[in-house]
């Protein structure tokens, strides 16, 4: 029984500041340890619940944050970037359940370190509704027939996940007090909760329902500036629908993630160009 685990950093217990999640920050090394131990808790829980194989995908930033030599050796690790399926890389139809650990709220929501894929993006919308990273990655899982069995993070993503993934284990490890402020349980407590919940999600995977895929796939992204939207409109299939907004109709979940990947890089590049012009003045 194969289990898939996608691990982000912003939703990990004990993490709340940009200094912790950005490589080179004073708190980053400690955040790596916290992230790795929550991944280990999910791995242990999956095996407790009957898994015979576990694949872990490092899903934060440059996607090489987990300390590999400290990761449970029973699991395989997918890491590095870019990846075609980004935070869902390594997910295959053989997986019986997907577990999302350390996840966070989307851009515009009042969650800890809230954003959607890139700090350069505003909202990301799917078929007209704002979505979190968990919901986008779940689309890919749905296309493979895999249910989402667990989401851990702060109270804001927990509320979103409770509605989005009926029957999934929801683990709230902290409460948002602002963008970079939180009331967190002890990391040790968080790990115990994640392990227990991962075991239940794995053992009960066959009881979870995989939703139907939508019939349309319209993606909208609010770019960081009008320049970003202007450049993105040159991508085949993309159109500029607002000062900073681009939209595209794609054929399925893989293309949703692929488009977001391209816009992610373009948003960062457009900001570098824009700021270079501003700084020359």
Annotated catalytic residues are: 115
Cα dihedral sign, 84-254-9-122: positive
Distance CA 158, CA 173 (A): 9
Q: Which helix (H) or strand (E) holds 263?
A: helix 253-279
Distance CA 195, CA 142 (A): 24
Q: Is 104 annotated as a binding residue?
A: yes
Q: Is 89 annotated as a binding residue?
A: no
Q: Quick check: helix, strand or coil at residue 71? A: coil
Q: Is 265 annotated as a binding residue?
A: no
Q: Nearest-5° angle of CA 18, CA 135, CA 203?
A: 105
Strand ranges, E, within the chain: 2-7, 53-58, 75-78, 95-103, 124-126, 129-130, 148-154, 169-178, 181-184, 218-222, 238-240, 245-249
Helices (H) and strands (E) in the chain, counts: 7, 12
Using an 8 Å Cβ cutoff, are 2 and 54 in contact?
Answer: yes
Burial 102-119 (b: 16+ CB within 10 A, else e): bbbbbbebebbbbbbbbe
Distance CA 113, CA 107 (A): 9
Angle (deg, nearest 10), helices 253-279 and 133-143: 150
Q: Is 60 annotated as a binding residue?
A: yes
Residues marked as binding for Zn(2+)? 8, 10, 60, 104, 133
Residues marked as binding? 8, 10, 60, 104, 133
């Amino acid at each position: 029984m194969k289990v898939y685990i996608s691990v982000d950093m912003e939703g990990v217990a004990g993490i709340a500041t940009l200094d912790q999640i950005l490589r080179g920050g004073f708190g980053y090394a400690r955040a790596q340890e916290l992230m790795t131990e929550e991944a280990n808790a999910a791995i242990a829980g999956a095996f407790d619940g009957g898994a015979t194989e576990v694949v872990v995908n490092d899903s934060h930033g440059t996607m090489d944050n987990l300390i590999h030599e400290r990761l449970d050796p029973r699991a395989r690790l997918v890491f590095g970037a870019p990846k075609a399926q980004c935070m869902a890389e390594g997910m295959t139809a053989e997986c019986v359940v997907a577990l999302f650990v350390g996840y966070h709220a989307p851009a515009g929501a009042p969650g800890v370190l809230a954003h959607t894929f890139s700090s350069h993006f505003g909202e990301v919308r799917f078929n007209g509704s704002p979505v979190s990273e968990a919901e986008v990655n779940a689309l890919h899982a749905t296309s493979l027939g895999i249910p989402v069995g667990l989401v851990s993070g702060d109270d804001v993503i927990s509320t979103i996940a409770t509605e989005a993934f009926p029957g999934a284990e929801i683990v709230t490890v902290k409460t948002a007090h602002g963008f970079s402020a939180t009331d967190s349980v002890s990391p040790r407590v968080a790990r115990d909760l994640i392990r227990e919940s991962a075991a239940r999600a794995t053992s009960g995977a066959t009881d979870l329902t995989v939703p139907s895929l939508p019939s349309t796939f319209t993606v909208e992204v609010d770019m960081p500036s009008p320049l970003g939207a202007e450049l993105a409109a040159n991508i085949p299939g993309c159109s500029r629908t607002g000062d900073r907004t681009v939209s595209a109709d794609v054929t399925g979940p893989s293309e949703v993630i692929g488009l977001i990947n391209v816009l992610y890089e373009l948003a960062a590049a457009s900001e570098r160009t824009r700021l270079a012009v501003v700084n020359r003045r």
